[in-house]
Structure 1
């Protein structure tokens, strides 16, 4: 089955309030804080079919979940969609992909009618040594109605969906090889200048050599923070690029014009470059 992007995870460690404030300043509407049964906390920026997740702890200086504790602030989670995480895990292992057993967890969610329920998920993760310096996994939404709620999908900046994820890699072919094992030989397409593309529905993951990423992003690039191959940029489609630009200017956020869009440089609260595309 071709890959479909489910969501992207921005680790904010114990700086949840700072990360959330920056996201809201950028024009995203965030969901109320959720607390996972695994011990982490999150906010979501829910888009039409995918979303951005701020992940960390709700307590400044608090302990982080063991599997995310070693990651710095930044874009560290690339998450694909699955309808059956347990079956997928077995299928991946049979193809030589180092997938871990499926894991189920939940978090409480308040409903519009004043009652409370649980948003429940089942995930299949890759062994962290298998690919880039980040987390790759699949998410099965057992209660999608508790994530994609219409009232959470209207963002002041007009964000609609993820269009592009850029990975900076020493050797793009190494990352492409694991993608082929995950999704099939035809899943990866060649790009320009040594880049490789993994189409994921309306989005694409692009893996580019470190030098090409430096040339593209320059001073807008995030701090690698001792990561090796790592994700550096999210591009988002917006409803009205002129309106997005006006909102950013009104809020004092510098956004450099580029062909077809605007670019906001990485800064410490999120440590990821953001493109807004018309």
Structure 2
């Protein structure tokens, strides 16, 4: 592995490992030490804003990769923050520690990166709970606005959509949307809207009337719109882009006995059947590459 000296003058990120330094010049691919991605390709690592994710199937391979990254970083005067580096294991009985310079890296069951929770189950359930808690905090901080007599209901709803609903739906396009997740989001959403309209017991109003009065849409539809906007953007990527390939990636191994879990892939297939679409038809045929785009006018 080789890392050239940084010439851009950029400061290192919070992890002291700028992706710019490692992305083009660092290789963790010596030998087959990643996870099987395609029939001819292994996925060894992922690069993010200021972090690096190493992927391996065995503890020995992960230790070798970690040593390689530590050595490449030290060669250009960078140090890995050991207390920020975490190990997440999935479906393995091996508990041997991963070390950097003799220090053991922490094993975790879950962690937060760029505001989203990641765990061995995907993180959707935990992420939704965290999103609701953060949105509730944002809502309570604006209590004076909701109680204001000077602001119109329309203004309050616009503030709610920009300051609360955006917090609630952050990362929703990647959620595995079970009925329980949709219900949790919808209950909180409806509760906030009722308080904005100052509807309290024993006054009653149906959810459909509530949404119509405030020009809102159900949680399931809102999440679906975000999901397909993201999918449309992803399908416009190059065929060899990892982000695009992951939509149809089939992981190795065998699943446990029992009912199939509802994955994001299966959810998208259900949506596509409803729309009579198929993303395997090829570019320009399925129409999914334009999902999320505004319609264009064509003049003749």
Q: Do both proteins adopt the same fold according to a TM-score greater than 0.5, normalized to the shorter chain? A: no
The structure with the largest alpha-carbon Rg is: 2
Between Structure 1 and Structure 2, which shows a larger proportion of helix residues?
2
TM-score, normalised to structure 1, is: 0.27
TM-score, normalised to structure 2, is: 0.26
Higher relative contact order (CA closer than 8 Å, sequence separation 6+): 1
Between Structure 1 and Structure 2, which shows a larger proportion of strand residues?
1
